[in-house]
Amino acid sequence: MILSQETFHKLDPSDMRGTIRGFFEQVEEAVVIGRKCKAPAIGKNITNIVLTGMGGSAIGADLLRTYLSKQLRVPFIVNRHYTLPSFVDKNSLVLISSYSGNTEETLEAYEDAVRRKANIFCISSGGEVAKKAGSLKHPFILIPGGLQPRAALGYSFFPLLYAMGKMGLIEVDENEISETITVLKTLSGEAIDISDKNLPYSIAKQLHDKIVVIWSSSDLFEAVGVRWRGQMNENAKNMAYSGTFPELNHNEIVGWEHPHTSLKSMVIVILRDRDDHPRVVQRISITKDVLKGIPHGFIEIPPRGESRLARMFSVIHLGDWVSYYLAMLNDTDPTPVERIGHLKNELERVR
């Protein structure tokens, strides 16, 4: 398929392309929201942090957790379930994240957090979470609605980053944020036009008609690989899996033996970082050699930028563009997720 403006208008009536292109502007707006938000200075009393959310509302937390891994002094986990871990108590900070404000798993976990008398902080675009936070007088950040949750990553990440800073849990680095916005703006400008120099389009063509396997090389990119997988699934409606080094060398590497015919339809995308552990660098090289000729091919993705935040978001944004162009090549609208909607309707029917 040759992509054109006509293709975009036909397959993308909701303009996901425009949303991705304007992501740096979303981040700018999210930063303003974060700077204005109010949060209690409770950092010294917190022994653990749990963010509870699902899908696009939870991936921002995964990225926040990995980005802050070198700075946070207390454990931070992401909870994707109806109930909270048993350790949650009055010394826990529970972050309630639901873009719509109506996610049933998150609302039930919210009730659980109230019962545990945890410190609660909420973020959503409205819905039941906003109503509940208002009635219980829990600190709350209102973010703009109207997007698919996966397309609102800036809103689910940056306001919480600032809130945690105001709580006294972390230090927010404004220089990193400024660099990140600059990198995103540059990448977006490069990715919007279809040409031989368009990197995400080139990658998407290599992934077309393939099962995508995403391997992350560092702790910083662990959640980025999950983000890539989710974007391939939801935007491109394309099967994708993710794994991380060095763990995949202790299990997955053995699975690349059967079934022979299916393995040929897979492409391995490796997300690299300049801070990769020296042994991981060696592991990647050896693993590629061991699997040579088994998958359809390997694609290595390096980051842009100097700071941890810029490098992380550069690879995220590249993945968003790849998933979009793969959707176009798959002749599919990147916005709707009909099977998720059907599942929610059926669950509501049998409640």
Pairing of strands 266-271, 297-301: parallel
The rounded distance, in Å, linking the Cα atoms of 56 and 148 is 8
* pLDDT number for residue 194: 86
* pLDDT number for residue 196: 76
Q: Which helix (H) or strand (E) holds 60?
A: helix 55-67
Name the β-bridge partners of 97: 123
* pLDDT number for residue 267: 98
Non-local CB neighbours of 248 within 8 Å, separated by 6+ positions: 215, 287
Identify the segments of the chain with pLDDT beneath 50: none
Comparing C-alpha atoms, which of 201, 206, 219 is closest to residue 268? Answer: 206
- Is the domain spanning 187-329 CATH 3.40.190.100? The answer is no
Domain with CATH 3.40.50.10490 in the chain: 37-172, 187-329
The SS3 of residue 81 is coil
Instruction: Supply the pTM of this predicted model.
Output: 0.96
The SS3 of residue 163 is helix
| Assigned CATH for 37-172 | 3.40.50.10490
CB 271 within 8 A of CB 277: no
3-state secondary structure 184-234: HHHHHHHHCCCCCCCHHHHHHHHHCCCEEEEEECCHHHHHHHHHHHHHHHH
Active site residues: 234, 250, 344
The rounded distance, in Å, linking the Cα atoms of 73 and 46 is 10
* pLDDT number for residue 197: 86
* pLDDT number for residue 80: 97
Comparing C-alpha atoms, which of 135, 298, 288, 150 is closest to residue 227? Answer: 150
CB 305 within 8 A of CB 212: no
Non-local CB neighbours of 243 within 8 Å, separated by 6+ positions: 213, 214, 215, 216, 225, 252
Backbone angles phi, psi at 226, to 5 degrees: -65, -40
Q: Write out the E strands in the chain.
A: 48-52, 76-79, 92-98, 119-124, 140-142, 211-216, 240-244, 266-271, 297-301
Q: Tens of pLDDT along 101-118?
A: 999 999 999 999 999 999
Non-local CB neighbours of 261 within 8 Å, separated by 6+ positions: none
